[in-house]
Every structure is written in C-alpha cells, then in structure tokens.
Amino acid sequence: MTSVKKIVVLKGDYIGPEIMTAGLAVLEAATKDTTFAYELIDAPFGGDGIDRAGDPLPQSTIDVSKQADAVLLSAIGGPKWDNAPRRPEQGLLEIRSKLNLFANIRPTKVTQAQIDRSPLKPEYVKNTDFVIVRELTSGAYFGKPRKLEAHQAIDTMYYSEEEVTRIMHQGFKMAQKRNKHVTIVDKSNVLATSKFWRKIANEVGKSYPDVTIDYYYVDAMTMAIMSKPATFDVVIIPNLFGDILSDEAAQITGSIGQIPSMSVGESGPNLYEPIHGSAPDIAGQGIANPISMVNTVAMMLAESFDEKRIADKITAAVDYIIENHYVTPDMGGTMTTGEVTQKMVDYIKNYE
Ligand code: NAI
Ligand code: MG
C-alpha cells in the first residue's frame, strides 16, 4: 500500500491562482492511472492569506505545512496589499525560516526545444543542465551587526561551520544523483567567510570521492556561466552571490516564465515554487505562462516523491508545447494559459 501524499497548496496572488490551476491540471493528468496518490490541502498565504485569514502567514498554514509531504506555492504579492501592516512578501521570508529551509535550488536546463529562445548562441548553450544550490538562511542578508546611520552603514557577512557544512552535503548529495561534478563558488581571495567556505567544501568533499570538485571566484563565474554553461553540474554558492548568479543563470533559458525552484530543510517538507513573482501587469488576462508552475510540479514529483517517470512525462509535455510553439505571448506565441495547459494535458493522455 502506498500512502497518500499530503501536498499543501498556496495558490498565491495575481497570476498565482491562474498558473496554479494549470499546474494542478497537469498533475492530475500525469498521475492518473499511476500508483501515486495525493491529497491537496488549500491554505491561505501571502495576499490571499491577508484577505482570507488576516495575515500573510497564518499559524494554521504553518501547522499544516509542517505536517505535509511537500508545499507547493505559485507566487505572491502585489500592489493590492501595498498598505497592509504586514505585506505578503513577509510571509515568504517567514515560511522559509519556520520550515528551516536553508538551501534554495534552481535548475538551469536548456532542452533542444528551448535552444532558440536562449539569448546565447546555440553552440554555447547546447547541453546546458546545471543546478544552483544557494545558501538561504545566513550570509550577508542575515549577519549582525547591521546598521544604517547618517554617516556610515554596516552589513556583516557571517557563516557558521554548521551552516556551511549542511549546504555542502546538500550539494554533494545532489551531484551524486546527477553528473558527479561540484563547482564551489566564493570570493576566497578576499573574504574570510569565503576562505572558510572553500576549506569546508574540501573537507566535506572527501566523503564524496566519486564527485569531482572545482572552484571559481564569483566574478570569474559570472563570465563562465555565459561562456561555457554546459560544463557545470551542481554549483554551491553563498546567499548573496547566489541571489545574483541565479538570476543571471535564469536568463540563459530565455524566459523566467519557465523556471522552477525548491527550498530544502534538514527535515520536513520541501517548498516548491516558480522563480518569478505574481506578475500583476498581466494578471486576469489569461496569458500567464504556465510552464514555470508545471515544471515546479515535475520537480516536486521527482525530488520529494521519487516519481521520476511521472516527472519525465510532464517534462516531455513541456518540450512538446515548446517545439510546436503552443506558447503564451511572453514566449512569442498567441495562446492563452488555458489553451497551453490543455495541450499539455492532451499530450500526457496519449503518452506511452
Ligand atoms: P515578476 O516576476 O512578477 O514579473 C517580472 C516580469 O516577468 C513581468 O513583466 C511579468 O509579466 C513577467 N512574468 C513573470 N512571470 C510570468 C509568467 N509566468 N508568464 C508570463 N510573464 C511572466 O516580478 P515583479 O513584477 O518585480 O513583482 C511582482 C510582485 O511579485 C511583487 O509584489 C513582488 O514582490 C512579488 N514577487 C514574489 C515572488 C515570489 O512569490 N516568490 C518573487 C518575486 C517577486
Ligand atoms: Mg533575486
């Protein structure tokens, strides 16, 4: 008997519910006639949390999320809540900390179908398939002291041994399941935290003798992911540098409307979400690109539930719509969110 997996659904704001509907339709189609059984638990969060429960992260949402097998989020925020006492985005920072999600993982993959949409030349981008493992709960964004005064300002970059060690294990473990190659990114020629980062990478690396390690300073890395993106597999990077580099990497695929992410903790559920925001500028028009949410669902199936075959089926549906140009305006197409979703569902129904 397989157990029924509990998935908390945070449907989000503006285009959030539009793409969540698409993602769940594809999930339903892809899991039909399989042994994978799931239960969806709707919970208020973000602007929707403010509207339905008076807070962007109600305690009830924290409680159900902690009990769940995975948390699926679309995107939150937007001008409707500009004057709210606690903004929707506050809920996002808090849920990451309540679930102790210390690593944020973003894939950059360019399939044959996507190659023409990349701003890079095909010969550079061909076979690109890497993930960025970004430390999420420490580093420059959380270090103390932090001060803004009239004539001086201070930020602090801080890392503990425990924080660096656990992110390294996360990255090395992922590499073992992928192409067994880790790239450590830092600025160890200048920063103490980066020297520390590199030293611990070396030590942790010894427990993974099948994984090769190389090292890049972050400035050199910004060039390398443009000039030879296909040479990377797993990139392990501190919070601040990872914020910047992961946005740069997203552009390699040609559209932020395609990219999923997951945030991982030591125990408890992972949180899955597209990398983009709630796109208030296009909400309500039925033109939001559902691919990011659909890829997010596939990532959840593969990573939290080990359902690689179902995930592959979904990825094949995404390739199919891109190849046939059944896409929304942000990718140069003329289709609506609903039409694109239906094309994927139909493809999955006939998938062998
Ligand atoms: P955004 O990512 O929402 O939009 C940037 C641009 O990309 C817009 O032109 C938008 O139309 C387009 N875009 C994004 N996703 C798309 C999709 N699936 N299909 C087609 N086009 C798409 O970033 P923006 O405008 O800076 O932020 C809007 C709101 O989202 C803000 O309230 C912001 O705080 C919030 N936000 C939420 C995030 C989250 O939920 N994790 C992440 C980033 C921003
Ligand atoms: Mg960012």
**C-alpha span between 20 and 15 (Å, rounded):** 8
pLDDT band of residue 66 (cuts 50, 70, 90) is very high
What ipTM does this complex have? 0.97
> What pLDDT is stored for residue 152 in this prediction?
98
DSSP 233: S
**Which residue in 224, 262, 273, 274 sits closest to 245, CA to CA?**
224
Name residues contacting ligand 1 (CB within 6 A).
15, 19, 75-78, 89, 92, 256-257, 273, 276-282, 288-289, 292, 330
Q: How many helices (H) and strands (E) does the chain have?
A: 12, 12
- Our mutation pick for probing the ligand 1 site, out of 18, 82, 89, 278, counting the most ligand atoms within 8 A of Cβ, is 278
DSSP-assigned beta bridge partners for residue 265: 101
Which helix or strand (DSSP H or E) is residue 193 part of? Answer: helix 192-205
Rg (CA), the chain: 20
Confidence of residue 255 (pLDDT cuts 50, 70, 90): confident
Q: Give the pLDDT of residue 116.
A: 85
Task: Note if the pTM is more than 0.90.
Answer: yes
Tokens of residue 11, six digits? 């449907």
The reply to whether 219 belongs to the active site is yes
Q: Give the pLDDT confidence of 204-250 residue by residue, as tens digits.
A: 999 999 999 999 999 999 999 999 999 999 999 999 999 999 999 99
260 CA distance to ligand 2 middle (Å):
13
List 5, 98, 187, 313, catalytic entry = 187
Burial 151-161 (b: 16+ CB within 10 A, else e): eeeeeebebee
187 in catalytic set: yes
Report residue 161: phi and psi, to 5°.
-60, -40
Give the model's confidence band at 287: pLDDT under 50 very low, under 70 low, under 90 confident, else very high.
Answer: very high
Q: What is the pLDDT of residue 117?
A: 84
The reply to whether omega before 145 is within 30° of 0 (cis) is yes
CA distance 290 to 331: 11
Question: How far apart (Å, rounded) are the C-alpha atoms in residues 236 and 184?
Answer: 5
Residue closest by Cα to atom 7 of ligand 1 = 279
What is the rounded CA–CA span in Å between residue 348 and residue 145?
53
Q: Which domains does the chain have, with CATH numbers?
A: 1-99+268-352 (3.40.718.10), 102-265 (3.40.718.10)
Query: If pLDDT is split at 50, 70 and 90, which confidence band does 352 have?
Result: confident
Residue 153 banded pLDDT, cuts 50, 70, 90: very high
247 is catalytic: yes
Annotated active-site residue in 42, 155, 243, 330: 243
CB 192 within 8 A of CB 158: no
Counting atoms of ligand 1 from 1, which one is nearest the CA of 274? Answer: 41
- Say how far apart CA 54 and CA 52 lie, in whole Å: 6
Mutate to test the pocket of ligand 1, among 271, 276, 318 (most ligand atoms within 8 A of CB): 276
Say which DSSP state 286 is in.
T
Residue the block writes with tokens 């305690």: 59
Per-residue DSSP letters for 59-73?
Answer: HHHHHHHHHSSEEEE
Q: How far apart are CA 27 and CA 21, in angstroms?
A: 10
Please state at what angle helix 15-31 crosses helix 308-323, rounded to 10 degrees. 120
Tens digit of each residue's pLDDT (9 = 90 or more) over 155-179: 999 999 999 999 999 999 999 999 9
Residue 196 has pLDDT above 80, yes or no: yes
Please tell me the predicted confidence (pLDDT) of residue 2. 65
